[in-house]
């Protein structure tokens, strides 16, 4: 969509006349409200398909469609959808800019962090050997091996095993050292694991000593924004982050960055090449532009202001609920590295307010609008994914559910 069309579309919205144009463009339409198409007709595909729009009052989750793309990402998608591009050129040029922005040697846009795990592993196995690229995941000879700490094994290691490798579990740097042999192709670090028996630095040092690429999965580990720069500095050869979590790019995009030879090999294992293991993990042109726009915007954001805004939202909801007897609202900041941002918990004396947090969660989800919160012993409310007008909606719905339970 051209800027002119954006403005035209905006002028069709009710209220546009009284709002400064910038505010209208910057804010996505209120959740659940119909959007006006270029013919001036109201469109609401949610209701056309009978799909329930959900307010996510928790954290980013893939099954809940990740994050909401920033307006500048939607603009990137719209403004690049009118022309074709050579996808090799686009991936190379977007990757080069992203690498510069992240102080990395090289970068590329993948279809999410899970794709980055698959094609990053493939890159470590094949290099630029076309025959091996075509043979994956069934290379002749002994099975290739990837080293992981026992406590780092997770569901996403299937994205690594998709390349045909077997994962070898180790505990401690000594075991890691001993486990490396001529079949070892890579060592993977899961940054948000509950515990680690090897520090980042030792992990990288052992891998280096044996000339094995070290890859770190930090998919959900911003904020803080500094994490985007941290791991290449420590010496990891490959790093991945999701695009569709707090960076607020397209849900089906992610970042893979690090050593230039490995990124080039990862590209050879990815679309638009037709044969390789990553061909079904295509990222479209608009998503590559969208991911670039999201990262640019994320790096320029006022992160202190965002943080303060989240704390203010928690305070607002806490104040809104404060009239309910025995209610206690608390700010919770998980130590991370995943989801390390303010959320809130709400508790009450269940003999005075006779309803369980689980029942509140159920009623929030079943209500109108449908609100996804969490918790069993305590009600958990996330605020970072709420659109501004949803903060009060969430507070109001929680109050409406708790009030009739007051004894």
Ligand X SMILES: *Cc1c(COP(=O)(O)O)cnc(C)c1O
The residues binding ligand X (CB under 6 A) are 62, 112-114, 156, 192, 217, 219-220, 242, 244, 254
Nearest C-alpha neighbor of 30 from the set 41, 8, 17, 46: 46
Q: Which is nearer to ligand X, 156 or 316 (CB)?
A: 156
Beta-bridge mates of residue 110 = 254
Q: Which is nearer to ligand X, 62 or 322 (CB)?
A: 62
The whole-angstrom separation of Cα 8 and Cα 385 is 28
Query: How near is the Cβ of 191 to ligand X at its closest, in Å?
Result: 7
Counting every residue written for the chain, the total comes to 407
Q: How far is the CB of 245 from ligand X (least distance, A)?
A: 6
Closest residue to ligand X using C-beta atoms? 112
- The one-character DSSP state at 52 is P
The torsion region of residue 172 among left (phi > 0), alpha (psi -120 to 50) and beta comes to: left
Question: What distance lies between CA 281 and its chain's CA centroid?
Answer: 17
Least distance in Å: CB of 216 to ligand X? 10
Nearest to ligand X of 156, 307 (CB atom): 156
Which residue lies nearer to ligand X by CB, 16 or 192? 192
The token pair that represents 267 in the structure block: 């590209």
Residues 6+ apart with CB under 8 A from 135: none
CB of 217 to ligand X, least distance (A): 5
Q: Between 238 and 346, name the residue whose CB sits nearer to ligand X.
A: 238
Give the nearer residue to ligand X in terms of CB position, either 254 or 278: 254
Residue 184 β-bridge partners: 145
Residue nearer to ligand X on the CB measure, 145 or 221: 221
CB of 162 to ligand X, least distance (A): 13
For ligand X, give the closer residue by CB, 254 or 318: 254
Radius of gyration, CA atoms only, the chain: 24
3-state SS class at 111: coil
Residue 162: phi and psi, rounded to 5, are -55, -25
- Identify which of residues 241 and 289 has a Cβ nearer to ligand X in the complex: 241
Contact 337, 192 (CB under 8 A): yes
Structural contact between residues 52 and 370, judged by C-beta atoms closer than 8 angstroms: yes
Q: Which residues contact 365 (CB under 8 A, 6 or more apart)?
A: 54, 371, 372, 373
- H/E element holding 26? helix 21-26
Report in angstroms how near the CB of residue 45 gets to ligand X at its nearest.
23
Nearest distance, CB of residue 250 and ligand X, angstroms? 10
Give 113 or 262: the residue with its C-beta nearer to ligand X: 113
Of 73, 84, 69, 75, whose CA–CA distance to 5 is shortest? 75
Minimum gap (Å) between residue 48 Cβ and ligand X: 27
CA 13 to chain centre: 31
Question: Are the CB atoms for 401 and 393 separated by under 8 Å?
Answer: no
In contact, 221 and 254? CB cutoff 8 Å: no
Which DSSP symbol is given to 30?
Answer: P
Nearest approach, Cβ of 193 to ligand X (angstroms)? 9
CB of 244 to ligand X, least distance (A): 6
């Amino acid at each position: 969509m051209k800027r002119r069309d954006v403005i035209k579309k905006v002028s069709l919205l009710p209220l546009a006349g009284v709002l400064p144009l910038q505010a209208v463009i910057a804010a996505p339409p209120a959740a659940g409200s119909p959007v006006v198409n270029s013919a001036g007709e109201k469109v609401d595909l949610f209701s056309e398909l009978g799909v329930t729009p959900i307010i996510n009052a928790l954290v980013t989750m893939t099954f809940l469609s990740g994050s909401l793309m920033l307006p500048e990402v939607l603009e990137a998608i719209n403004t690049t959808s009118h022309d074709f591009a050579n996808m090799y050129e686009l991936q190379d040029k977007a990757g080069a800019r992203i690498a510069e922005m992240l102080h990395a040697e090289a970068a590329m846009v993948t279809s999410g962090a899970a794709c980055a795990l698959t094609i990053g592993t493939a890159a470590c196995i094949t290099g630029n050997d076309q025959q091996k690229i075509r043979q994956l995941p069934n290379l002749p000879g002994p099975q290739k091996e990837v080293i992981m700490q026992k406590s780092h094994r997770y569901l996403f290691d299937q994205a690594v095993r998709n390349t045909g490798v077997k994962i070898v579990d180790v505990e401690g740097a000594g075991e890691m050292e001993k486990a490396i042999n001529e079949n070892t192709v890579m060592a993977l670090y899961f940054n948000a694991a509950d515990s680690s028996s090897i520090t980042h630095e030792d992990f990288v040092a052992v891998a280096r000593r044996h000339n094995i690429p070290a890859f770190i999965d930090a998919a959900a580990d911003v904020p803080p924004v500094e994490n985007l720069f941290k791991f290449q500095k420590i010496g990891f050869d490959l790093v991945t982050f999701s695009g569709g979590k707090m960076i607020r790019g397209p849900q089906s995009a992610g970042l893979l960055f690090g050593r230039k030879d490995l990124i080039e090999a990862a590209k050879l294992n990815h679309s638009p090449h037709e044969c390789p293991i990553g061909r079904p993990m295509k990222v479209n042109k608009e998503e590559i532009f969208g991911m670039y726009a999201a990262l640019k915007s994320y790096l320029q954001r006022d992160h202190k202001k965002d943080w303060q805004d989240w704390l203010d939202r928690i305070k607002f909801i806490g104040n809104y609920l404060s009239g309910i007897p025995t209610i206690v609202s608390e700010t919770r900041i998980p130590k991370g590295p995943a989801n390390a941002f303010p959320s809130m918990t709400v508790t009450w004396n269940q003999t005075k307010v006779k309803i369980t947090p689980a029942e509140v969660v159920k009623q929030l989800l079943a209500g109108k609008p449908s609100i996804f919160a969490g918790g069993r012993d305590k009600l958990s409310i996330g605020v970072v994914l709420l659109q501004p007008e949803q903060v009060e909606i969430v507070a109001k719905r929680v109050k409406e559910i708790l009030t009739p339970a007051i004894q």
